[in-house]
Amino acid sequence: MKDPINIFWFRRDLRLHDNAGLFHALKAGIPVLPVFIFDRNILDKLENRKDRRVEFIHHALTGIQDQLKAIGRTIEVFHGFPDKVFEELARTYTIANVYTNHDVEPYAGERDAEVAETLSKKGIGFHTYKDQVIFEKGEVLKDDGTPYTVFTPYSRKWKSHLNASSFASYLVEDHSQHFLRKTVHPIPTLESMGFEPAGLQFPPESFTDEVIANYATNRNYPGMPGTTRLGVHLRFGTISIRELARHVAPLSETFLNELIWREFYQMILWHFPRVGKGHAFKPAYEHIPWRNNEEEFARWCEGNTGYPIVDAGMRELNATGFMHNRVRMIVASFLCKHLLIDWRWGEAYFAEKLLDFDLASNNGGWQWAAGSGCDAAPYFRIFNPRLQTEKFDKDLVYIRRWVPEFQEFTYPKPIVEHEFARKRCLEAYGSVLKAEA
């Protein structure tokens, strides 16, 4: 019989340093084989064969492989269905335990339950750990034990829970001798999985303290480099949330609050999983009489609404997979309230396009804009694109970058007049919400 090994399963934690599940796998003291699965349950549904997220993951795994090769170890990367992959691994190795980190998304829960059952039948343990947040699930609750649904008191309680151990690192390096020594296992190419590189550069993992220190002042201006663009690295775990939060906490409470918003939305998804399955957090908002005009939706997607700040955001998204956070709020409000198109249409489009797509944050942001979420903008708050431009892009730096023709005759007229759209929105929302009151 072969000597037993442990397996560490990478998912949203694509790094070798300060990784909770990996630390516990190595600390157990027997050889550890790291694996990653390009999950066909996810990849087979992707229509874009140049999906930048798949390329980003591939890039991150190549980096992990290079680090492991330097110490004579390897990662095994698969393209398949997780339960089938673990069946194959169990035939190849004598597996004692599988270690991984928590993932609160609905599909992830279903997948992990299926894999845990498959492993249990073979006498293999399945252990998961908190890694992608500082506080998760039920760790930050009201005094009566119920979950918060308003951010500000949640953030206060979150901060009151902080202590020296909150940011403590998991020193994987102290146990790296326990990685399984094995011939390097080649990573499947993008092409072999039906994808191809898009040829775009990814945002760096690094940032300057100056950006963090000035974040509160500069973060709302899309024409200037006032944000870190770390979203994709947090999404796929190429940086440690503990290291990041520990570093920025003394520099900017505003930036720390952004990290807390991320955890707030993950907490909401955990306690109210229906929001991740297409349901409004506030049930009354299920009855909004959306217009859902497909032609207008297409113009919004393409960045041809005739509102330059909206079009700039959509064009930036389509070209780069990124959109400035202030502009995300403007374009989301425009879709839901100016065009009366169901927020779920916009949520799905962002899910397809955003390099840093995260189900909890994306859903939380869209429901905030539509007024249907917890702690959401009230339904009568309707962003005026012109005023938003005057306030946050008054020199038109951002607009000129993405909509250079906005002053030409070829640029389309506004898809809808603001005051008309505002009145129509208030009537549509009011007809339902006043009846529910």
Return the pLDDT at 434. Answer: 75
Tokens of 168: 């403590």
Return the pLDDT at 1. Answer: 64
User: Regarding the domain with residue range 1-130, which homologous superfamily does it belong to in the CATH classification?
Assistant: HUPs (3.40.50.620)
Residue 407 carries which side chain, given as an amino acid letter?
Q
Give the Cα separation of 98 and 127 in Å (integer).
6
Give the Cα separation of 373 and 255 in Å (integer).
22
Where are the alpha helices (H) located in 272-414, listed in sequence order? 294-302, 308-320, 325-333, 343-353, 359-370, 385-392, 397-402
Return the pLDDT at 436. Answer: 60
Q: What residue ranges of the chain are covered by domains with CATH 1.25.40.80?
A: 132-169+204-271
Cβ neighbours of residue 375 closer than 8 Å, sequence gap 6 or more: 149, 150, 151, 368
Residue 416: CB atoms within 10 A of its CB come to 19
Residue 127: CB atoms within 10 A of its CB come to 16
Class at the top of the CATH hierarchy for domain 132-169+204-271: mainly alpha
Distances (CA, A) of 267 to 65, 133, 152, 241, 428: 33, 10, 14, 16, 31
Is residue 151 within 8 A of residue 264, CB to CB? The reply is yes
Nearest to 261 by CA among 113, 416, 140, 97: 140
Give the Cα separation of 363 and 164 in Å (integer).
32
Where are the alpha helices (H) located in 16-150, listed in sequence order? 20-27, 40-43, 52-69, 82-92, 106-120
Look up the pTM and report it: 0.95
Q: What is the 3-state secondary structure (H, E, C) of 187-224?
A: CCCCHHHCCCCCCCCCCCCCCCHHHHHCHHHHCCCCCC
Helices (H) and strands (E) in the chain, counts: 19, 5
Q: What residue ranges of the chain are covered by domains with CATH 1.10.579.10?
A: 273-430
Q: Label residue 418 left, alpha or beta by phi (over 0 means left) and psi (-120 to 50 means alpha).
A: alpha
Give the Cα separation of 112 and 104 in Å (integer).
10
Residue 65 burial by Cβ neighbours in a 10 Å radius (0-12, 13-18, 19+)? buried
Is residue 64 within 8 A of residue 35, CB to CB? The reply is no
387 three-state secondary structure = helix
Cβ neighbours of residue 364 closer than 8 Å, sequence gap 6 or more: 261, 264, 265, 268, 275, 373, 374
Fold held by 273-430:
DNA Cyclobutane Dipyrimidine Photolyase, subunit A; domain 3 (1.10.579)
Give the Cα separation of 305 and 110 in Å (integer).
39
Q: What residue ranges of the chain are covered by domains with CATH 3.40.50.620?
A: 1-130
Return the pLDDT at 435. Answer: 62
Is residue 392 within 8 A of residue 220, CB to CB? The reply is yes
Q: Label residue 285 left, alpha or beta by phi (over 0 means left) and psi (-120 to 50 means alpha).
A: alpha
Nearest to 361 by CA among 18, 132, 161, 143: 132
Give the Cα separation of 191 and 210 in Å (integer).
40
182 three-state secondary structure = coil
Residue 80 carries which side chain, given as an amino acid letter?
G
pLDDT along the chain (437 residues), means of 10: 93 98 97 98 95 97 96 96 97 97 95 97 98 97 97 97 93 94 92 93 92 97 96 97 97 98 97 95 95 98 98 97 97 98 98 96 97 87 97 98 97 98 96 73
Positive or negative: CA dihedral 238, 348, 418, 316: positive
Q: Which residues are catalytic?
A: 258, 261, 290, 325, 343, 366
